[in-house]
Amino acid sequence: MPFTNRVARRSPRRSPIHPLLIASALLLLVSTGLSAQRAGTLVSLKALPRPEPIGLDRYVRDPEKLVALGKALFWDVQAGSDGRTACASCHFHAGADHRRQNQLASPHDAVAVLRPNQTLTIDDFPFRKREDPFDHRSALVRDSRLVAGSAGIVRRRFLDIEEGGAAEVGIDDGTPTPFAIDGVKVRQVTARNSPSVVNAVFNVRNFWDGRASRAFTGATPFGDSDTELNAMVASPAGLEPERVRIENSSLASQAVEPVLNEVEMSYSGRSWAMLGRKLLSLPPLARQQVAPDDSVLGRMASRLGPGLETRVTYASLIRAAFQPAYWRSSRVVDANGRVLEGVASPQGADEFSQIEYNFALFWGLAIQAYESTLVSDDSPFDRFMDGDTAALSALEQAGLSAFRSTRSQCSVCHQGAEFTSAAFSFVAQAGFDETNLGAFGFFRTGVSEASDDIGAAARDGFGLPLFPAVAARATEGAFKTPGLRNVALTGPYFHNGGMATLTEAMEFYARQGDFPGTPNIFPLMRRIQLNEDDRTALVAFLEALTDDRVRFERAPFDHPALCVATGYDETPSGALPRAESVPGSDAIAADRWALIPAAGREGNSVPLQTFEELLRGIGDDGSRAHTLNAPCRP
């Protein structure tokens, strides 16, 4: 997807793997008692340390305030160019998405026509369906190359912000878009399914294709491909540009892409400094209720209405969390980081304060800090591995045995307590072998043709391969192995969202994939021999990987309230109602909104709804949370 940087790009040079990273990661394992022999084995997640960013003290002075800033930014709908779209809009349900209408995309024009605003049903899954569900050689009776992604933002071009206003000034950019009905635009949909942010702290690289580098360079996801001086630091010599490089920070690299992405959260052309200027002028979470017992924000929550107390601003949170050298200067810079002499305060759209200019740095590190708290390590499986033999039922224990067995081959890719070989413990054990894609937990498992989505074979925003040391052929159609924790709550499954239930996922592996003829995975897929008993037991075991704190949204998984866009109410003739007032356009559809209520540290009285239950209407009687039936006004 396109990426907007704030400065002109030089021709970058790809740096080799940093020796400090290998040393620090291995030290991380040894110093916490997790030996290389235990890395990759099935143990309780409590036994593993959370990877710590290296060199964070240079930027951060109060980690607790950093988490508070990150949680506010992650859930604040004012961050979207429309003033209604947050990071959480695609990650509100066990860290993933839970919507079913206007969630389909057709990447690369793989089908002739995609009508937006379709509502998914249980009969739409799996997207690829065969005559014999357990034989990949049988004919496909349905061959949908659609993707169940996440509704983002209406396509528009950024013009300006209005200080004190959450909605930005935009205009139709004239670019044809498939996300429109009879000329009325709807929200665009991402080309991949939204993965959960829960436990993502353990991943060496993030995003399905791994483009979020483990080295955060301050403004883009792409690590050492980005050689720019992305921060301004105050020193005795004045205000100077500085290169940022923080190891073990893939979450920060991931966090800085969606908010400027023109499909997900941003009008095209918006810069970091302009986003910073807008949010610094707005009360945090001004449109959203914060529970007074929120585990992070409760002490700051307003008792008089939505948002936080008036004393709490984004500027005050930044000043409390970050070292003064990154926000205290009164000097003014232009969009390229040049200090403007004789200018006392920003006067126009191309002049910024230091705190505005450094907003990408603040955003990435703060959201990383918040997401690093989202660790689910108290599932029945964890308690079983910690010695509670009654924590797993006989069927779930049979599923654990099948998971470990050569019949399933599950543990080849889903390694260790994290249940993914893309995690630090496994990758460090493999020696950070940059020439081996599998050593980083990336595989092609036959979910789709490589021509439908090239995955790890893509290039980053600077035109460089995501995995330059790996043969291009080996990266085609390969994706990061997702963790399996809380997987019962995070459907639909795979990078294309093409399967609605865990049973369908098991059937996919039982038939050895749909397109398994690839060099790095075909021998493994051919060894899979899952009978009906195996599949039933495996599903039971996977359900036992759910942490009840996630299921009931208890701390640290509690959160502010959120209105999410859930599609559009069409007239009987198929026309879309138009939004009442959208500056710069009169052809944007009026959203339907559903309330995700605020949850405090004690969470909900009922569990989260699964995706299958959503499709079947189970829980609409109030026995499930996040049924998306309660309306709200954003």
CA distance 532 to 530: 7
Main-chain dihedrals φ then ψ at residue 231, nearest 5 degrees: -135, 155
How many angstroms from the chain centroid is the CA of residue 226? Answer: 21
CA distance 361 to 263: 22
Confidence (pLDDT) at 201: 98
* pLDDT > 90? residue 155: yes
pLDDT band at 53 (very low <50, low <70, confident <90, very high): very high
* Cα–Cα dist 429/261, whole Å: 34
Residues in contact with 340: Cβ distance below 8 Å, sequence separation at least 6, in sequence order: 331, 332, 333, 334, 351
Q: Is the pLDDT of residue 519 over 90?
A: no
pLDDT, average across residues 203-215: 98
Asked if the model's pLDDT at residue 18 lies above 70, the reply is no
Q: Give this prediction's pTM.
A: 0.93
Distance linking the first and last C-alpha atoms of the chain = 27
pLDDT for the residue 29? 46
Q: What is the pLDDT of residue 338?
A: 95
Give the DSSP letter of residue 590: P
CB distance 543 to 488 below 8 Å: yes
Angle of helix 272-280 relative to helix 314-321, nearest 10 degrees?
110
pLDDT band of residue 35 (cuts 50, 70, 90) is very low
Q: Please give the average per-residue pLDDT across 37-51, as a whole number.
A: 82
Quick check: 16 pLDDT over 70? no
Sort 602 into a burial class: Cβ within 10 Å, 0-12 / 13-18 / 19+: middle
Asked whether residue 7 carries a pLDDT value surpassing 70, the answer given is: no
Say whether pLDDT at 5 is over 50. no
pLDDT at 381: 98
Which is more confident, 412 or 22? 412
Per-residue confidence band for 526, with pLDDT thresholds at 50, 70 and 90: confident
Quickly count helices (H) and strands (E) in the chain.
17, 16
Q: What is the pLDDT of residue 354?
A: 98
Q: Over 60: is that where the pLDDT of 26 sits?
A: no
pLDDT at 144 over 90: no
With pLDDT > 90 as the criterion, what percentage of the chain qualifies? Answer: 78
Task: Give the mean model confidence (pLDDT) for residues 427-456.
Answer: 92
Cα separations in angstroms, 96 against 149, 197, 319, 532: 11, 7, 31, 29
Please say whether the beta carbons of 533 and 510 come within 8 A: no
In this prediction, residues 380-384 reach a mean pLDDT of 98
Given this model, what pLDDT does residue 109 score?
58
Q: What is the mean pLDDT of the chain?
A: 91
Overall average pLDDT of the 113-142 stretch: 87
> What is the per-residue pLDDT across 304-315, written as a single tens digit (0 to 9) for each?
999 999 999 999
Looking from the CA of 592 toward its CB, the CA atoms found within 13 Å total: 16
Per-residue model confidence (pLDDT) at position 41: 83
Name residue, tokens 């079947």.
616
pLDDT digits (tens, 9 = 90+) for 607-632: 999 999 999 999 999 999 999 999 99
Per-residue confidence (pLDDT) for residue 512, from 0 to 100 = 85
SS3 128: strand
| Residue 597 burial (10 A CB sphere; 0-12, 13-18, 19+) | middle
What pLDDT, on the 0 to 100 scale, is given for residue 113? 58
Is the backbone peptide bond immediately before 607 cis, with ω within 30 degrees of 0?
A: no
Ranking 4-18, 47-61, 194-208, 407-421 by mean pLDDT, the lowest is 4-18
28 has pLDDT over 90: no
Does the pLDDT at position 4 exceed 80?
Answer: no
Average pLDDT score over residue span 98-124: 85
Burial (Cβ within 10 Å: 0-12, 13-18, ≥19) of residue 169: middle
Kindly report, residue by residue over 301-341, the tens digit of the pLDDT: 999 999 999 999 999 999 999 999 999 999 999 999 999 99
